[in-house]
Amino acid sequence: MTKEFKFPDVGEGITEGEIVKWFVKEGDEVKEHQALGEIETDKAIVEMPSPYSGVVLKIAIKEGETVKVGDTLVVIGEKGETVESKPSEAKEPALKPAGVVGYLEEAPEEETKPTKVLATPAVRKLAKELNVDLSTIKGSGSGGRITEQDVRAVAKTKEKEPELKVMRKYDMWGYIDRIPLKGIRKIISGHMTKSAFTAPHVTHFDEIDATKLAEVREEMKKEAEMKEIKLTYLPFVIKALVAALKQYPRLNASLDEENETIIVKKYYNIGIAVDTEAGLMVPVIKGADQKSIYDLAKEASELAENCRNRTIDLMDLRGGSFTITNIGSIGGIYATPIINYPEVAILMTGRMYDKLVLEDDKIKIKKFMPLSLSFDHRVVDGADAARFVNVVKQYLENTPMFLP
C-alpha cells in the first residue's frame, strides 16, 4: 500500500522549505527513520527522516524547488507497486463540422455520447471558482463522483505549472545579473519586512569608555586560551545586557497584538547575529544569566561555527528574548539595526576606537565602544531606552563584575 510523506507543519511559523539534496532516488529501498534528504527551513538545513519503510516510488519535489506545508515530498510503497498518475491537462475534443457538404471523414461505428459529470452543486461551484474543468477529472468518490479533494488537487497541479517568462540579461543601461530571491535570503527578506512595517523603530545611540574592559579582557584571555576558548568582547556585553534587562524587563519582551498584551519574559535567552555565506542567522544562547564569561564565549563560538557550516539545530535558532549584533569586526561604528521581531529591542555594538579625552586636566587616549539600540516604540519609551543603555554602560565600565 502506497503512503505519501508530506511536508509536516512543525509550527514556529514555518510555511515552506527548499529541497537542498536528495540522498535517495526512485526505486531505492529505505528504512523507517532513514534520512531521505536535506531541506532548508527558516535559516537551517535539516535532514528529513523517512516515516515509513519500503521502496521510494516517487520523488515529488526536485532539488532546488520550494515545498509548502502539506505538499507531498515522496511516495513510499512496496516493491512492485506503482503510483497512479493524476490526470494532467486533458484536451477537449476538437469540434467537428456537421452537415457541411464536402467534409470528408470516416464515420464512427457508434455515436459517442457526452460523459455525464457526477458532482454536487458545491463541488461544481468550487470548480468554477478555481477555474477547473470537471470533464477532465476522474472522480475518486463513490461511482466515480468528483469530490472537493479531486478539484483542489487539479487546481494545485495547475498552480505548480511554471509560467514561461523571458528574463532579459540587460536593461537600458547595460548587462545585469539576476539572483533568485529564495532560501535563507527569502526568509530574511520576509522577516525584515514584517519587522520594519509592524514595529515602529527608534534607535538610540551612545558609547562606553571601554578602556578598563579591554584591560580585563586581555588578562582573562590567558586563562581562556588554556581552556581553548576564544574570548571576544561579546560575552562581556551579554553579561551587562542581562543585568540591564533585569532592571528594565520591558525590553525583554514581545507584543501579543491579537490579545493586546505585552509578554514580559522571565528568562534571558540572548540571540547573537552571525554573518554566514548563506545570510544572517541568529542562534540563541539559552539561560544566559546562568552562565559565566567563559561559558558564554565557548557557546557563542560553537553556535556561530554551526551556523557557518550549516549544521545548526533548528531549536538553537528559536526561543530568543533579546538579540545582540556586532558590526565592529567588519568596521562600522553606528547603524540602525532592525528588531528581530517579535522581540522589542536589539543592541548593536560598533568598532572600538581610540579617542582623546580630557581627564583630571590631562589629555588621555581611551578606548570607546559605540552602541546602537533599536526598540519598538509601542512597548518601550525613549526615556526607558536611554536609562537601559546607561545601565549597560555602568556594568561594562565597572569591570570587577566580570572577574572570575
Assign 300 to helix, strand or coil.
helix
Which residue in the block uniquely carries the three cell numbers 457526452?
114
What residue spans of 172-253 are helical by DSSP H? Answer: 183-198, 211-226, 234-247
Give the integer Cα–Cα distance in Å for 322 and 302: 19
Phi-psi region of 256 (alpha: psi -120 to 50; beta: other; left: phi over 0): beta
> Which listed residue (33, 191, 201, 377) is catalytic?
377
Cell of 276: 554566514
How far is CA 369 from its chain centroid?
31
CB 340 within 8 A of CB 323: yes
**18 forms bridges with which residues in the sheet?**
40, 66
3-state helix, strand, coil in the chain (%, to 5): 30, 25, 45
Catalytic site includes residue 377: yes
- Cα–Cα distances (Å) from 291 to 236, 243, 303, 398, in that order, read 11, 13, 15, 19
Catalytic residues: 377
